Amino acid sequence: MASPLLGLLTLLLLQPMELFAWQDYKDYKLYELKLEGAVEQNLVRKWSQEKPSWDFHEPSRNASSLKVMIPPEEADGFIETLRSYHLEYKVLIEDLAPLVRAQRAENLKKKLLIQWPHIDVLAAFYTHAEINDYLDSLPARFPKRVQLKQFGWSYERRPLKVVTITNGDGRRNKPVILIDGTVHAREWISPSMALYVIQQLLDNYVDNQELMLDYDWVIMPVVNADGYEYTHTVDRYWRKSRRPTSNPDCIGTDINRNFGYEWGHDEGSSSDPCEAIYRGERPFDQPESQVLRDVMLHYGGRLNFYLSLHSYGNYFLLPWGYTSVFPDTYQDMMSVADAGAKAIIYSTNGIYSYGSTYYVLYPTSGDTTDFALGVVNATVSMTMELPAAGFQGFDPWVSHIERLVTESWVGVRAMAAEVIRRYPA
Ligand code: 0X9
Ligand code: ZN
């Protein structure tokens, strides 16, 4: 039956995203800028404010270069500006479109082979709905060891779920290790890593049981569900939430600037809805931030290790982000980071830098890690920036997943073991 319906169906199968105005990144370019010192750093900061469409990857304090993605209509002006400041640059990628398309095709092809609801974390990147289906399947498979709880909804009403994993001995109120993922939508290795941790604790119990003897694990693989879904359906490089702002041209808030501890400093966040680090109108005005806050507070009195999974950069970032002053327990937290860094370098030769966010990376204000320490009193609070992969850094190919998550697990496992050793139940 050669009907229009069939034609539509074929179109849907071949180009599923055209119908939803898929951002194809045609002729978008990726540049690398040389950064010589504070002068360039300040220029980049100024340009991020004035030109939100120049998508700078945030420069870390000591970086000697940084990447920036530029839309085709801005390319001439961008180059002119660089030249006028005598900044050195090189073009890394002339046209992002074929690469974005190839990654998308690779992932969709891999997913055809999956036997639902069993998912192979190493075989593909999954959508929020697919991850939720997988989480939903766990209590039946591990009735004594898994508890699944929905803590709320995203702005677009996606259910936000949290899984608690125990060894099933029935002992209540053990100290907790809380791991979250996907606060930033485009950092796709983050949900994969959260899922890998779940699979290690459940399917590889024999090797990991000592990690659950006196501690429970609480894992929220996707915080920014709307943003994450949007990276699968419309725009692969979306970072923020999806709630509209006071500016009709700019959508979304950086959930990692929206938390209510030392919120609102201009050093480390922005009041401009068009910027990547927009903090929102008020602390916790994003439903996703409220949900993660509630999860933290729920486990408050026994939160011994809070770990937020991001990418990229190979960092263990400790509080504070908002100030150059160190927290009282800084050295204790450093010992935990040190255990993670050592374990990784011994196993794969991967090198992590660690220290306070303010010094190691850049100032941040209103982020989850500062809140976990400042308000929830987590014993150890940390952001882990997983390694760069792919062409931008947060866009690994499916074939990279295994290397990234197995290496990262070595670090997470070692840090959990160190927390358990230092703070026995
Ligand atoms: O800037 C951020 O939100 C994080 N980096 S990312 O490239 N994933 O966007 C770092 C936040 C670190 N903050 C603290 N550890 N306090
Ligand atoms: Zn991030």
111-156 pLDDT, tens digit each = 998 887 778 999 999 999 999 999 999 999 999 999 999 999 999 9
The ligand placed nearest to the CA atom of residue 385 is 1
Mean pLDDT of 217-242: 98
The answer to the question of residue 181 being in a domain is: yes
* Same domain, residue pair 84 and 135: no
**What is the side-by-side order of every strand in the sheet holding 146-153?**
146-153, 159-165, 216-220, 176-181, 303-311, 380-386, 315-318, 353-356
Directed axis angle between helix 189-203 and helix 401-422, to 10°? 60
Of 62, 94, 126, which residue sits at a domain end? 94
Mean pLDDT of 184-200: 98
Model pLDDT, residue 20: 64
Distance 383 CA to ligand 1 centre (A): 7
Q: Judging by beta carbons within 10 Å of its beta carbon (0-12, 13-18, 19+), is residue 236 exposed, middle or buried?
A: buried
Distance 408 CA to ligand 2 centre (A): 16
The answer to the question of residue 416 being in a domain is: yes
The ligand placed nearest to the CA atom of residue 383 is 1
Alpha carbons 211 and 206: distance in angstroms, whole number: 10
Predicted confidence (pLDDT) per residue in 313-331, tens digit: 999 999 999 999 999 999 9
Q: How many domains does the chain have?
A: 2
Model pLDDT, residue 382: 98
Ligand 1 and 111: CB distance under 6 A: no
Amino acid at 60: S
Number of H helices, E strands in the chain: 13, 12
Predicted confidence (pLDDT) per residue in 16-38, tens digit: 445 568 999 999 999 999 988 88
Distance of CA 311 to the CA centre of its chain: 6
Model pLDDT, residue 118: 78
We report the CATH number of the domain holding residue 408 as: 3.40.630.10
| Pocket probe mutation, ligand 1, options 314, 357, 368, max atoms within 8 Å of Cβ | 357
Distance 187 CA to ligand 2 centre (A): 6
DSSP of 31-43: EEEE--SHHHHHH
Model pLDDT, residue 5: 54
The answer to the question of residue 285 being in a domain is: yes
The answer to the question of residue 5 being in a domain is: no
* Same domain, residue pair 178 and 231: yes
Model pLDDT, residue 108: 94
SS3 142: coil
Residue 6 above 50 pLDDT? Answer: no
Distance of CA 234 to the CA centre of its chain: 18
* Same domain, residue pair 182 and 289: yes
Residue 43 lies in domain: 29-94
For the chain, give the percent of residues with pLDDT over 70. Answer: 95
* Same domain, residue pair 192 and 247: yes
Ligand 1 and 262: CB distance under 6 A: no
The ligand placed nearest to the CA atom of residue 357 is 1
Which residues are CB-neighbours of 418 under 8 A, at least 6 positions away? 335, 336, 339, 340
Distance 79 CA to ligand 2 centre (A): 28
User: What residues pack around ion ligand 2 (CB closer than 5 A)?
Assistant: 184, 187, 310
Model pLDDT, residue 10: 43
* Same domain, residue pair 247 and 336: yes
| Pocket probe mutation, ligand 1, options 385, 386, 392, max atoms within 8 Å of Cβ | 385
Amino acid at 291: V
Model pLDDT, residue 60: 81
Catalytic residue chosen out of the listed positions 229, 262, 288, 385: 385
Alpha carbons 147 and 167: distance in angstroms, whole number: 12
* Same domain, residue pair 262 and 209: yes
Distance 210 CA to ligand 2 centre (A): 30
* Same domain, residue pair 260 and 319: yes
Query: Quick one: which atom of ligand 1 is closest to the CA of 57?
Result: 7
Q: Does an H or E element contain 196, and which?
A: helix 189-203
Alpha carbons 162 and 296: distance in angstroms, whole number: 11
* Same domain, residue pair 208 and 146: yes
Amino acid at 382: M
* Same domain, residue pair 181 and 275: yes
Model pLDDT, residue 122: 95
Predicted confidence (pLDDT) per residue in 61-116, tens digit: 878 899 999 999 999 999 999 999 999 999 999 999 999 999 999 999 999 988 87
Contact 296, 342 (CB under 8 A): no
We report the CATH number of the domain holding residue 68 as: 3.30.70.340
Query: Quick one: which atom of ligand 1 is closest to the CA of 321?
Result: 16
The answer to the question of residue 9 being in a domain is: no
The answer to the question of residue 223 being in a domain is: yes
* Same domain, residue pair 53 and 122: no
- Our answer to whether residue 407 is catalytic in this structure is no
* Summary mean pLDDT of the chain: 94
* Same domain, residue pair 40 and 166: no
Residue 332 above 90 pLDDT? Answer: yes
Predicted confidence (pLDDT) per residue in 252-280, tens digit: 999 999 999 999 999 999 999 999 999 99
Ligand 1 and 270: CB distance under 6 A: no
Count of residues for the chain?
425
| Pocket probe mutation, ligand 1, options 67, 180, 256, 353, max atoms within 8 Å of Cβ | 256
Of 64, 94, 124, which residue sits at a domain end? 94
The answer to the question of residue 90 being in a domain is: yes
Residue 264: both structure tokens together: 């609102």
Amino acid at 186: R
Which residues are CB-neighbours of 423 under 8 A, at least 6 positions away? 175, 304, 379
Q: Judging by beta carbons within 10 Å of its beta carbon (0-12, 13-18, 19+), is residue 421 exposed, middle or buried?
A: exposed
| Pocket probe mutation, ligand 1, options 310, 354, 358, max atoms within 8 Å of Cβ | 310
* Same domain, residue pair 213 and 77: no
The ligand placed nearest to the CA atom of residue 254 is 1
Ligand 1 and 384: CB distance under 6 A: no
For the chain, give the percent of residues with pLDDT over 90. Answer: 88
Per-residue confidence band for 41, with pLDDT thresholds at 50, 70 and 90: confident
The answer to the question of residue 24 being in a domain is: no
Ligand 1 and 319: CB distance under 6 A: yes
Query: Quick one: which atom of ligand 1 is closest to the CA of 256?
Result: 3
